[in-house]
Amino acid sequence: MEQSILRNFAKYVSLNILGMIGLSCYILADTYFVAKALGVTGITALNLCSVLDKSHQ
């Protein structure tokens, strides 16, 4: 029983960590392409929108 609980915990934690790493890679790639296409103004707009988006959740 104890082994099963630890195994489930490790499974859920590792999946959450992998999900956060994936999301971070997506955000980095998105920021890179916005910066290449729109420059400083695009990054500024992206940062402002991300703050506003997080405030509504």
| Region 2-20 average pLDDT | 93
Q: What is the pLDDT of residues 30-43, one digit of tens each?
A: 999 999 999 999 99
Q: pLDDT tier at 56 (50, 70, 90 boundaries)?
A: low
- Provide the number of structural domains found in the chain: 1
Q: Are residues 35 and 43 in contact, defined by beta-carbon separation less than 8 angstroms? A: yes
Are the beta carbons of 30 and 22 closer than 8 angstroms?
A: no
47, amino acid identity: N
Please tell me the predicted confidence (pLDDT) of residue 46.
87
pLDDT of residue 54: 67
Mean pLDDT throughout 13-23?
96
Rg (CA), the chain: 17
